[in-house]
Amino acid sequence: MAKVVEIPEGLEAFLISLLEKGIVSGLVVLKYLEESSKASYALVPAGGDTEGLAPLFPFMPANAGKVLSRLTLEGPFPNPIAVVVRPCEFRAFVELVKLEQGHMENLLIIGLECGGVYPLGKMVKENVGDFIGAYYEALKKGEIVPDIRPVCQGCDLFQPVGADIVVSVVGRGVPQLAFLTEKGLDAAEKLGLELKEGEVFAPLSQALLEARRERKGQIAEEIKGEVKGIEGLERVFGKCIGCHCCSHVCPICYCKDCFFESATFDYEPISYTERLERKGTLRVPMDTVLFHLGRMTHMATSCVGCGMCEDACPVGIPVSQIFKFIGSDLQELFGYVPGRSLQEELPLTTYRLEEFSEVEE
Amino acid sequence: MKVEEERMKNERETEGVFEPKIVGFLCYWCSYTAADLAGVSRMKYPPNLRVMRVMCSSRVDPVFIIKALLDGADGVLVAGCHPGDCHYQKGNYYARRKIALTKRLLESLGLEPERVRLSWIAASEGPRFAEVAKEFTERIRQLGPNPAKGALFL
């Protein structure tokens, strides 16, 4: 049970009232670019242009975790800022803060109960008006929305964790706000909202959770079958053109000097001819699979499964499904859930004195 | 490698016996010294291990192991000081986590985690070094050649 309030006038009006009452000095939120078919993240100051806020727009043009990291890399905001984020975006931000790539202070976190987002291609190539109605209909019924990102279809962490204010939409005709922290309650009080006791999530949210879990199992099994063994890796990653877009849009891949873009894997000509003698043919550029598997060892323990990488891939490799489901094996190994808590240490930056005796021989 | 051993190895290879290539990352303070000790004590162990010295077992990024395996190494050995004995106090604890991660990753991808081995070998344990090299070479010989060796599009 928590302090809740329904907002029939919509989330946009609530956000604007936060600005108008001076509770926050700015918003980080999705905002329409042209009419209501395209949106992008924007930092909207008090007194700024609040036309066309689109907090619930079901697309992720950038992972907000990465956006927030860019905004708070050099230091925290001097004044309170409200940010509207999906759970995976917030979890990515928590990971980035642990990696010293951002600051959590002075942020009022408004977490969306997430119905998933569509692949970005749909925003650019199709008429959003044609399918957006169906999106909200499916959410109201607590069903998995068809055609959303495959990782979203198998995401069971769509209920926000660690947010000050939770926006519940699944299984509800009218969105509901739940104020979970002192910061959140303080904002509600200043706004003069009449709060009542209630459940944070609607009962249908639980139904969606179960449906998502089932789908997650299916996708995990499918994808693991697909990348199995050397043949699987060759088949799946053989298409890779080495653009590294997946790592550029990845919120967790923050390294300015990526190992795989360094000269580490450049060789002397003699090395190539020796390889040729062994293999007969050499794929160039080399090390495509190494890039993906290497990136996996570097970031998969923190992978939040947001799906940005898969959207960015020009040759349609199911990157995020592979990273999410292979990554969840690695996370399980360390009992780690990325972004669950700011206090939990990253698996590879900590250790226990007695553990993993099965790998010692 | 002694000339005699080289000759015998070449002979075995021409006879069709599989000779594994194993990459060994040995920590400077313990395991590399142990290899040295095994050498000066004239202990016998198979010549299949290609040794690379690292300052600490935790220096071995999982990428190094994956790189070796994708490029056709039949096995990868990472060896360091026993837990509690690390020259840098806790490097080998980190190494253990990295190896655990690498092995699980290989397992999840349907590759062979048995091709990776982590062993603690103290500087004084020359005989143990020879034993580990022997055992691991034998295990890899049983496993057969690394299937990545012939793959063109890796």
Domain membership flag for residue B131: yes
Which two structure tokens, joined as six digits, stand for A234? 């060759």
How far is A97 from A335, CA to CA, in rounded Å?
A: 20
Confidence of residue A180 (pLDDT cuts 50, 70, 90): very high
Q: Do residue A329 and residue B104 have CB atoms under 8 angstroms apart?
A: yes
DSSP assignment of A34-87, as one string? ETTTEEEEEEEETTS--TTB-TT-S--SS-HHHHHHHHHSSS--SS-EEEEE-H
pLDDT in tens, B62-79: 999 999 999 889 999 999
Q: Is the pLDDT of residue A150 over 90?
A: yes
pLDDT in tens, A19-38: 999 999 999 999 998 777 88
- The gap from C-alpha B139 to its chain's centroid, in whole angstroms, comes to 12
pLDDT in tens, A204-216: 999 999 999 999 9
Q: In chain A, what is the greatest distance between 2 CA atoms, to the nearest angstrom?
A: 77
Residues of B in contact with A301 (CB under 8 A): 101
A255 contact B CB<8A: no
Structural domain boundaries, residue B57: 19-141
For residue A294, the chain B residue with the least C-alpha distance is B63
Looking up residue B45, the CATH number of its domain turns out to be: 3.40.50.960
In chain B the beta strands, taken as DSSP E runs, fall at 22-27, 49-54, 75-80, 116-120
Q: In chain B, what is the greatest distance between 2 CA atoms, to the nearest angstrom?
A: 47
Candidate from A238, A281, A351 with C-beta closest to B93: A351
> Is it true that the peptide bond before A76 is cis, omega within 30 degrees of 0?
no
Domain membership flag for residue B8: no
Candidate from A230, A287, A356 with C-beta closest to B151: A230
Domain membership flag for residue B5: no
What is the nearest CA distance from B13 to chain A, expressed in angstroms?
15
Q: Do residue A347 and residue B101 have CB atoms under 8 angstroms apart?
A: yes
Backbone Cα Rg of chain A: 22
Q: Do residue A297 and residue B105 have CB atoms under 8 angstroms apart?
A: yes
pLDDT in tens, A63-120: 999 999 999 999 999 999 999 999 999 999 999 999 999 999 999 999 999 999 999 9
Tens digits of pLDDT across chain B (154 residues): 556 666 666 656 666 788 999 999 999 999 999 999 999 999 999 999 999 999 999 999 999 999 999 988 999 999 999 999 999 999 999 999 999 999 999 999 999 999 999 999 999 999 999 999 999 999 999 999 999 887 777 7
Residue A74 · residue A47 · CB < 8 Å: no
Q: Do residue A293 and residue B96 have CB atoms under 8 angstroms apart?
A: no
Candidate from A297, A326, A334 with C-beta closest to B62: A297
Q: Do residue B118 and residue A359 have CB atoms under 8 angstroms apart?
A: yes
Name the domain count of chain B: 1
Domain membership flag for residue B151: no
Domain membership flag for residue B6: no
Domain membership flag for residue B3: no
pLDDT in tens, A291-306: 999 999 999 999 999 9
What's the confidence (pLDDT) of residue A279? 80
Q: Do residue A232 and residue B109 have CB atoms under 8 angstroms apart?
A: yes
Residue A60 · residue A86 · CB < 8 Å: yes
Taking the alpha carbons at both ends of chain A, their separation in whole angstroms is: 50
Residues of B in contact with A234 (CB under 8 A): 151, 153-154
Q: Where are the domains of chain A?
A: 2-218, 226-359
Q: Which residue bears the tokens 């190994």?
A: A333
Half-sphere exposure of B142 (CA within 13 A, CB side): 8
Q: Which of A274, A286, A297 has the highest number of chain B CBs within 10 A, making it the mutation to test binding with B? A: A297
Residues of B in contact with A221 (CB under 8 A): none
